[in-house]
C-alpha cells in the first residue's frame, strides 16, 4: 500500500531563507507527483506537477525534484517570504483515479 510521508510536520524560518520541504513515498510505481499549497480555511492549490519521467519542475521561486528510485521528492523555496506561510502537501498518483496525499508540512516564515 502506497504511503506518503512529509517531515517535518511544521517548520519556522526567518524571511529570506532558502528552504527545502521533504516528501517520501513507499512505492516507486507512480505516475506523477504534485505539490500543493493550502492556506488556512481554504482549498488546495496545485503548485507543481512532476510526471514520473521527469526529474524536476520549476515555477518562479519554487523548484520540485523527483527521485522515483529512492521514493523522494523535495520542494525548494528560494528567498522565502511571509506570504509563503501555508501548509504544503505532496501527493502521488498511483494510477487510475487514486491520488495519495501526505499530511503536509506547515510552514511559517517570520518577517
Partner 1 sequence: NAGVTQTPKFQVLKTGQSMTLQCAQDMNHNSMYWYRQDPGMGLRLIYYSASEGTTDKGEVPNGYNVSRLNKREFSLRLESAAPSQTSVYFCASSKRTGEVLGEKLFFGSGTQLSVL
Question: From the list 77, 89, 107, 109, which residue makes contact with partner 1 (rule: CB under 8 A)?
Answer: 89
Contacts of partner 1 in 13-32 (CB under 8 A): 31-32
Least Å distance between CB 50 and partner 1?
9
Q: Is the peptide bond before 89 cis (omega within 30 degrees of 0)?
A: no
* Cell reading at 12: 519556522
User: Residue 8 interacts with partner 1 (CB under 8 A)?
Assistant: no
What DSSP state is assigned to residue 84? G
User: Residue 43 interacts with partner 1 (CB under 8 A)?
Assistant: yes
CB-based contact 19:77 (threshold 8 Å): yes
Question: From the list 102, 105, 107, 109, which residue makes contact with partner 1 (rule: CB under 8 A)?
Answer: 102
Name the burial class of residue 86, with classes exposed (0-12), middle (13-18) and buried (19+) by CB atoms within 10 angstroms of its CB.
Answer: buried
Chain positions contacting partner 1, by CB under 8 A: 4, 9, 31-32, 34, 36, 41-46, 49, 51-52, 89, 91, 93, 95, 97-104
Amino acid at each position: 500500500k502506497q504511503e506518503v510521508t512529509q517531515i517535518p510536520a511544521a517548520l519556522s524560518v526567518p524571511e529570506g531563507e532558502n528552504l527545502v520541504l521533504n516528501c517520501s513515498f513507499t512505492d516507486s510505481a507512480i505516475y506523477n507527483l504534485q505539490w500543493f499549497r493550502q492556506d488556512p480555511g481554504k482549498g488546495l492549490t496545485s503548485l507543481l506537477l512532476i510526471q514520473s519521467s521527469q526529474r524536476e519542475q520549476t515555477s518562479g521561486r519554487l523548484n520540485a525534484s523527483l527521485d522515483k528510485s529512492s521514493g523522494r521528492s523535495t520542494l525548494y523555496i528560494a528567498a522565502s517570504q511571509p506570504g509563503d506561510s501555508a501548509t504544503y502537501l505532496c501527493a502521488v498518483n498511483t494510477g487510475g483515479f487514486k491520488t495519495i496525499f501526505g499530511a503536509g508540512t506547515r510552514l511559517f516564515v517570520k518577517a
